[in-house]
Each structure stands twice: as C-alpha cells, then as structure tokens.
Amino acid sequence: MLKNSTILVTGGTGSFGNAFVPMTLEKFSPKKIIILSRDEMKQWDMAKKFENDPRVRFFIGDVRDRDRLYRALDGVDYVVHAAATKIVPTAEYNPFECVKTNVLGAMNLIDACIDKGVKKVVALSTDKASSPVNLYGATKLASDKLFVSGNAYSGEHGTTFSVVRYGNVMGSRGSVIPFFRSIRDQGELPITDPRMTRFMISLEQGVELVWHAFEDMEGGEIYVKKIPSMRIPEIANVVAPDAAQKTVGIRPGEKLHEQMIGVEDAPYTYEYPEHFKILPAINNWDTSVERIKDGTRVAEDFIYSSDSNTAWMSEAELSEWIDTNAHKIGAI
C-alpha cells in the first residue's frame, strides 16, 4: 500500500519518526516521506542521517498553523500524526499549550487532510487516553474522538482516519530506562511507587502497528497492541542492580498503572492474535463486518491494564533487550 506513495509524518523528528522513516523506506520504498515539525535543530540533526536519500524531505511547520498544513499536505497520500505535547507534568503546568497542540492541532489536521484528498490518516494515541486522569490523557482522548468522527464527515472526499494506541516505549528519549541509566552511578534510583507497572513496547513494534492499521483500516478503529508489562522496581533492578531504590511518590497527573482499554470500551472491542481493536460506538460502526473481520468480541467486563495483564516481561528479557539496543537508548 505504501509503495511509491507520498507520506507525511507530523512531529516526525521525535522517537517514532526516527524509527518509522528508515523502517518504511526499507520495507515499502515510498516515493517520498515528508517530516513536518517545528524544531529546526531536530530537523537538522535528523537530516544528516538521510542526506543521501532524496526521498526524505523536511518541512518546518506546526499543526496549530492550519494554512501551513494545507501547504505541507499538497500531493500527500498518507499521514501519520505523531505531533503532540506529551510530557505529563508539562501538560499539567501548561494546559493551554497542550490543548492548542493536541486538540486544536488535531482538528486542523483532520480538516486539511479531507480538503487535500489524503487517502488515509493514522493518529498515534496513548494509554493515558483511556480513562484519563491528567490533561495530556484528556486531550488525547479528545483527539482520538476527533479522528474517529472525522470519518463521518469526510464524505465524498473519501479520507479515512484511524488511531493506534500503545504505552511506554522502551528506551525512548525521556522515558524511564534512559533516565535510570543516566543516574545509576549515583547509587540510588527514585521510584515513584513500588507497586507501579508499565506496558513495554519497542519503537519497532509501534511502527509495525501503524503499518498494520494502514492495511486493515476501514475508518474509525483504535488499534491496541498486545504487549507485556513490567513493574518499575524490576526495571530499576535490571538497569542498576547495585543501586538503592528510594520511593519518592507519584508525580502530578501520573497513573499507578497504565490502561489502554477501559471497561466502557469493552462492548466495542474485538480481539485478534496480536492486537485488540476498539470500534466506534457511533453510526453502528461497531457492528460493521468490514471492520470486525475475523475478530472475537472481548468479555463485557474486559479491561486491558498493565497490572492485570496476562503477559509479563522478565528481568532477563529486559536485560537482553537493553544489551541489544544499548546504542540507541535515549538517543531518539
């Protein structure tokens, strides 16, 4: 599907974009991948990796800027929406800015994609959009709803929208593994709460879920990858086995456990070998055979949460992953 196409990635200089671009170039050989972001320094750094590949283009812009989006989307076939204000405490202390990017930016992108005739759009979501307790999660829930509903008014333009949702990305910049590695020589690691659990997914798995969404989507689906969980103290044990662990308390807006599917979504959720799919509750789309395909409806009380997960990553498995990926942990 993506072969010989033109793809635009909003917020493409982040962790996801740095994985998506080389993987997609190798697997699908698209005609062009356009990176839209507002940080010129990050674009400069990323461009060095692809300076000999004319298929990779860079475009300074902001999803808040509707007119700039219309220019960026000229001739684009597919869009991956990765741009977001996503650090939980940052969103709590800068709520207006978070809303402008995550909600108004989503509205701008949806309108622009419809008007410019984009074929398909996949938006990245987060576990924090499920039963949100912080502003970041609330804005991403609103964003998810906007992208799902976008299918209802794209009309004859034919643009379809879907969402992919996953939790903690192992080794990404600002996440717990590189943070623990950066301070392990101090002899003590801060643990927010020894009960805390997190889902564990690699960037490569996140990219593959986006690819699957593009192939499978009819419009309005939220794809949730099946991934293992870990307890935060176990992660600390692997990163710094000789360091002490000090409980410091949960940060403002932070959850004790990650949740990707709440009980309210269970009536609309179907299970597949490697993922779940939440279908839209509007327009009877949850009964659409084209969307359900070969899925099996989950139990009515189903919840997909990191603490009640049936799959767990062992300390040995995480240690092996870190050894294999040490060169890129915290780099993107």
State how far the Cα of 109 lies from the Cα of 114, in Å rounded to an integer: 9
State how far the Cα of 281 lies from the Cα of 148, in Å rounded to an integer: 10
Distances (CA, A) of 283 to 219, 270, 288: 12, 17, 10
Nearest Cα to Cα of residue 274 among 311, 322, 324, 244: 311
The answer to whether the CB of 261 falls within 8 A of the CB of 224 is yes
128 carries an active-site annotation = yes
* Among 42, 86, 120, 128, the one annotated catalytic: 128
State how far the Cα of 221 lies from the Cα of 212, in Å rounded to an integer: 12
State how far the Cα of 124 lies from the Cα of 214, in Å rounded to an integer: 12
Structure tokens at 10: 């909003």
State how far the Cα of 204 lies from the Cα of 216, in Å rounded to an integer: 18
Catalytic residues: 128
